[in-house]
Amino acid sequence: MKIIESVKELRKTRKEITGKAGFVPTMGALHRGHLELIKKSTEICDTTIASIFVNPTQFGKDEDYDKYPRTLDNDLQICEENGVDIVFKPKKEDIYPLSNPKVGFRISEELGNILCGKSRPGHFEGVAQVVSILFNIVDPDIAVFGEKDYQQLAIIKEMTSSLRYDTEIVAVPIIREPGGLAMSSRNRYLTPKEKELAGNILKVMEGVKVKAEEARFDRRALPVEFIESEAASRLTELIPDCKVDYVEIRNTNDLTKGRFLARDSRIFAAIFIGKTRLIDNLYIGV
């Protein structure tokens, strides 16, 4: 496995790749969720490049950029053992040669101003910015992203298509802890008890799915707002001291919202446990 820090060397190595080049962008602190992305890339591509870069521009002023877990030795071992061919771990100056980078994709309001885009202003602009720069450097045939960050995935698809990147975006389903909590690098901020309680996020979303299926069977129209507020109350009941940021039901394809539960719905949730923000989502169909 090659470990590359410089943009110049990465570009040179990329040019030598024959066959399909797969790319897995990460911020490190790798876990089984990342592993699944790596696996997917190694299955469908000839060469897999993983990047490890904690991107400062996607963190808000009061967020955890400085404290974000950095576990490089372990990350490199995971990459090595799981078939990554090249790890790209640039420095901040390699990605952002100017101190106040202004470049960026203009995300549509429909995708950018909802859910996490509303709660974390500037976050997705930072994500789109770093992914577009990484795509310019890596020039991947295929890039793999997780459904855990579902809105991010939608924005990356929008960006890739709008900017005419010659890259296919492949999605991987959410990988979960045994108790149901979606795996995340930030889960290590939680105590074992909090982790256990956080398993209720999935339980509540699954409850909504069952309700949606029952209503469909009975041909009953379910008002979306009512279901959302019921789910939010259930979350605060089951996870004492959590703060619900949002629970929303939207169309799984374009993230639009209707008044009544319709076909191809997906439920999205974001909650705080202490200072740790957790997000999750589940396809609820109907």
Per-residue x/- track, 8-37, ligand AMP (CB under 6 A)? ------------------xx-----xx-xx
85 vs 149, which CB is nearer to ligand AMP? 149
Site string for ligand AMP, 132-161 (x = CB under 6 A): -------------xx-xx------------
The least distance separating ligand AMP from the CB of residue 99, rounded to whole angstroms, comes to 23
185 binds ligand AMP (CB under 6 A): yes
Rounded CA-CA distance 235/22 in Å is 38
Q: Residue 158 Cβ, how far from ligand AMP at the closest point, in Å?
A: 15
Q: Does 59 bind ligand AMP (CB under 6 A)?
A: no
3-state helix, strand and coil shares in percent for the chain, rounded to the nearest 5: 45, 20, 35
Cβ proximity to ligand AMP, 72 vs 262, nearer residue: 72
Angle at 14 between CA 9 and CA 18, to 5 degrees: 145
- Is residue 248 within 8 A of residue 273, CB to CB? The reply is no
Q: Is 123 a catalytic residue?
A: no
Which span sits near ligand AMP by CB under 6 A: 7-15, 109-117, 177-185, 241-249? Answer: 177-185
CA dist., res. 280 & res. 205, Å (int)? 9
d(CA 81, CA 238): 39
Question: 116: how many CB neighbours lie within 10 A of its CB?
Answer: 21
Q: For the CB of residue 133, give the shortest distance to ligand AMP in the complex, in Å.
A: 15
Question: Both tokens of residue 110?
Answer: 């429909």
Give me the least distance between CB of 34 and ligand AMP, in Å please. 5
Nearest residue to 24 via CA among 139, 142, 157 = 142
Q: Which one of the listed residues 21, 22, 29, 34 is annotated catalytic?
A: 34
Listing from the earlier edge strand, what are the strands of the sheet with 47-52?
2-4, 86-88, 47-52, 21-26, 142-146, 168-172
Cα dihedral 45→46→50→51 (10° resolution): -100
Shortest Cβ contact with ligand AMP: which residue?
Answer: 146
274 neighbors 242 (Cβ within 8 angstroms): no
Which residue in 10, 78, 154, 183 binds ligand AMP (CB under 6 A)? Answer: 183
In angstroms, give the least distance from the CB of 258 to ligand AMP.
26
Q: Single out the segment in contact with ligand AMP by CB under 6 A; choices: 112-120, 169-177, 219-227, 271-279.
A: 169-177
Q: Are strands 242-251 and 142-146 parallel, antiparallel or unpaired?
A: unpaired
Beta carbon nearer to ligand AMP, 171 or 262: 171
Contact residues toward ligand AMP (CB under 6 A) are 26-27, 33-34, 36-37, 145-146, 148-149, 172, 174-175, 182-185
The residues that are catalytic are 34
